[in-house]
A and B are shown apart, each in its own frame.
Chain A
Amino acid sequence: MGLNPESRARFNLNRASVLLLEETPLGMSILVQILTGFGAKVLHRCETVAEAEATVQKVELDLMIVDAMGASGAGYDFVSWLRRSGIQPNCYVPVLLTAGHTPNGAVNKARDCGAHFIIAKPLTSISVLERILWISKEGRRFVECDSYVGPDRRFKNEGVPAGMAGRRRDDLPPEVGESQGPNMEQEMIDGMLKTRRVQI
């Protein structure tokens, strides 16, 4: 991702409604300091899953930062519940999951709970901001089926697996067809690759 911490690019979290689920007071303080540093003003602090579930039911949220909650993995269960809750629009909200340590037995649960991104602690301000900006991108598809409800986890489209027809409407056959138009001129290709001064 590589966000430059010295960048003057602006972002606005002033009006974003953010749920924070973190059971330790210091963990919560760290999150709050980072988020308020980013300019977020509407923070819903929840120390238990019950508080978080109640908040989801009564407040419209824009972002959730959820801790896995140690060995119990209650944070994963909360995200699974959220995705299947049918409480719109909160059930589709970007979720950033944080974890101090993921025990071997919980790796699948972490992967399948339906979070947009999992960040291993310790958190740094720049990594949290990078992930927030990344998960907030529009156009992320949502998958709902018996075994999984959450954002599409496929980052690359490598085509349909060998020997399968594909299940998506926009899946293409593996065979490449005849060209539909003339090849591009070399001059045009060179023009596209030429370095230019840009104003950001």
Chain B
Amino acid sequence: MSGAVSIHTPEVRLAKLIRTPGGKPVADAMRDAHKGLEGIQADCLGELSVVLDKSEALVARAQGAFNAEVASELYGLVSKTVGVATACNLKPIDTMLVSLADLLDYLMSGKTWDVNAVAVHLRAFRLLLKTEAARDGAGTQAILEGLRRVSQRFAKPTTETRPADADGDAAEGLE
């Protein structure tokens, strides 16, 4: 660090506003926020279906090889969608999307592609969205743990990575 360092304490108007009389209790705020989120659940589910279809189309466009444009577009689509599923009580789909975003980030860093690793995430996406699987605790956790292991394989430098499905356990939890 170079040059002068200035440290001061600015006034925070929000602190005063929050303490002003009126407002609402935390419990009521939670209830009202949940009620509001329930009102957009149908939109969220519709959006997730669109994202799934777009993702599958993008992966098909890559034709099994690394394509920087496709990888970047898919990463953008996936990372922007994180958060939508939790709003309609499908948090496992968000966990799956974060795992897929991690995977795509690693693949883009290494300028490599693994068709099986990406495909297993999209299959899980379809399963969690189109069935009641996302609401089933134990089975869903097994799926998510399997996906996390797939994406974390690529966290290492690309020279050390193996194809996700080479030993047949990439899709563990999905069978």
Contacts and interface: CB of A to CB of B under 8 A. Distances in A.
B18 A9 contact: no
A101 B78 contact: yes
B125 interface: no
A124 interface: yes
Contacts of A125: 29-30, 33-34, 37
Given A13-B18, A138-B12, A145-B1, A123 B83 contact: yes
B72 A71 contact: yes
Interface string A58-72: 000011000000110
B133 interface: no
A182 to B, nearest CB: 34
A7 B35 CA distance: 18
Contacts of B11: 89, 92, 138
Interface in A21-39: 23-24, 26-27, 29-30, 32-34, 36-39
A100 B84 CA distance: 10
Interface residues of B, number: 61
B81 A146 contact: no
B37 A143 contact: no
Contacts of A133: 18
A124 B83 CA distance: 9
Interface residues on A, range: 35 or more
A2 interface: no
Interface string B1-27: 111111111111111011111111111
A118 B82 CA distance: 15
Interface residues of A, dominant DSSP: loop
A26 B29 contact: no
A27 B75 contact: no
Contacts of A9: 25-26
A5 interface: yes
Nearest to A31: B83
Interface stretch (B52-60, B98-106, B139-147): B98-106
A122 interface: yes
B8 A142 contact: yes
Nearest to B10: A92
Interface string A1-28: 0011111111111111000000110110
Interface of A: 3-16, 23-24, 26-27, 29-30, 32-34, 36-39, 62-63, 70-71, 89, 92-94, 98, 100-101, 103-105, 121-126, 129, 133, 136-147, 152, 167-168
Interface of B: 1-15, 17-27, 29-37, 39-40, 43-44, 47, 72, 75-76, 78-87, 91, 94, 97-98, 101-102, 105, 109
Closest A-B pairs by Cβ, 10 of them: A37-B33, A12-B23, A33-B36, A122-B86, A100-B82, A121-B83, A37-B32, A101-B101, A92-B10, A125-B33
